[in-house]
Structure 1
């Protein structure tokens, strides 16, 4: 099916307001400057939550502190589950502010304490900087969940696009390094495979906001060398996936990353990991945190956050 008219209007506007990565724009600083110079949208009241707190938490050896933002939901049980969230942006762009609304909505909808991670970005800090930050914060959250008011027995990871990569890689690191135990991973159109060679990369190469040249540019910023594509903490599609927590994986029809996300979901299933795969037809990459006014976004977010709420509720007997 073609892109629906209301989505075409959105794509045209979003494309006009985004740097031409991988073609005309080749420098990360230039891309960030382009985005910073955009006219600010009309001010809107932030989605209300019980509290928002900015913290600096201990990081890995080469980055002693990692900024995080903690969201407390409006309506939650006394000791809610905890979600560690990693934002997208191709490992290069976006930050805590770009995904602030998404985290607020997720906290309220899932009834969970959400901790958004401001990991180091490429190319200023290439692999494994972001993965080291991702896991360091996850360990800190597990060690301090009770003091934060959350349940250390009910911790999930979540992320969109490059953040989906970091979420599932954080789960791999947790399994490989003796914890923490996780109950769920929420992966939204994750960016997983540097090969960029699936059918959806050809079908959706251009014309749908996120392009194949952009994705290849992001990988070039993130990796030190092409050989790192065989590292399971770069490309979880080559990892042993046994023992990972259950997953909900959302993909978008008109997205270069569509196929690798769905293939990864099937690999998780083959490894014995309970995995729900949902493709949202008529949508584009990034839609769940951008196109708030469109009904497909609302339905996809409702489905994802309901899955997260169910997963965090499954182990309520362990809560304190």
Structure 2
């Protein structure tokens, strides 16, 4: 059953514009060590119908290649996965991974929990598909902003189905509580302002009762640590979502999950694709280094805290 949205001509207009925006990946980044094949497309079946996915393969195909499910952001409104191709290219190059970027459905055409279910169905398909040039047993999840929440949601649904967790998860500027529209920052014009928070809720989470469900707001899931594999969380110090990310880190660590956390001091929500190339490069380094470590050390001690900085604000 779908909920009726409050009438808002402004939000409706913004949604129509936002759903058509094609945010490109940043330019001027270091080239892969070996030329990569051009991205391809495929159709992946889900319970809501087939969805388009962009696929970035490594320079050399192997049947046991890791497969990364990369879930883009966009406030549950924008649906252009190519915005994360710079992430996909680095992962394909350094990890020898096949990176799959699904074009999941967004609001206001659909509403919660369509994208959450599509992300889970895609993950199941990646794990079960045979002869596709990757190993489903080496599934990695990565997401930015809304996509980071979807990555968490995949883990929740795998756990609920008594299925193995992914090998590891990386979460960039995750949102974990969609009931909130009061987040603020010390900077004057943060990217995720209260206005943007209200707009995202109107577009994709119009049912305020369902916003409180653990799948909608993972921070409300008491069993979340049991569902999560080793996790990396990257946040921006000026981002209105930064405290939410820190709370997630504490929740996972308290539950025994091996969790690493880095705060990019002075960065807002969009640092993974912003103007500071040094921050983007460091972000990509941290993502790939974390995945490489988890792929090579499956028995990593979940109680270990690798971050020596007590306040976790590791300045570049």
In the superposition, the TM-score normalised over structure 1's length comes to: 0.81
Comparing 216-225 and 163-172, the one that deviates more: 216-225
Cα offset, 1:309, TM superposition: 1.7
Q: Tell me the SS of whatever aligns to 2:178.
A: coil
Q: Tell me the SS of whatever aligns to 1:166.
A: helix
Cα offset, 1:44, TM superposition: 11
CA distance in 2, matches of 1:295, 1:43: 11
Equivalence for 1:139: 124
CA distance in 1, matches of 2:173, 2:9: 23
Deviations 1:282-316 (A, max 9, x none): 1111211333x521221122112210121123349
Contact 1:205 1:256 in 2 (8 A): no
Match of 2:268 among 272, 281, 284: 284
Task: Point out where structure 2 has 5 or more consecutive residues left out of the alignment.
Answer: 1-7, 300-316
Equivalence for 1:155: 139
Q: Tell me the SS of whatever aligns to 2:156.
A: helix
Deviations 1:254-307 (A, max 9, x none): 11111101101111111211111111111111211333x521221122112210
CA distance in 2, matches of 1:120, 1:128: 10
Q: Tell me the SS of whatever aligns to 1:147.
A: coil
CA distance in 2, matches of 1:23, 1:302: 42
Match of 2:160 among 160, 176, 181: 176
- Taking a change above 3 Å as real, the CA distance of residues 263 and 169 of structure 1, as seen in their structure-2 partners, is same
1:260 aligns with 2:244: yes
Match of 1:116 among 101, 114, 124: 101
CA distance in 1, matches of 2:232, 2:60: 23
Contact 1:53 1:70 in 2 (8 A): yes
Equivalence for 2:148: 164
Contact 2:159 2:227 in 1 (8 A): yes
Contact 2:179 2:212 in 1 (8 A): no
Equivalence for 2:73: 88
Equivalence for 2:209: 227
Contact 1:153 1:181 in 2 (8 A): no
Task: Point out where structure 1 has 5 or more consecutive residues left out of the alignment.
Answer: 1-21
- Taking a change above 3 Å as real, the CA distance of residues 312 and 161 of structure 1, as seen in their structure-2 partners, is same
Cα offset, 1:162, TM superposition: 0.1
Query: In angstroms, what is the RMSD of aligned CA positions?
Result: 3.0
In the superposition, the TM-score normalised over structure 2's length comes to: 0.81
Equivalence for 1:192: 176
Q: How many residues align?
A: 287
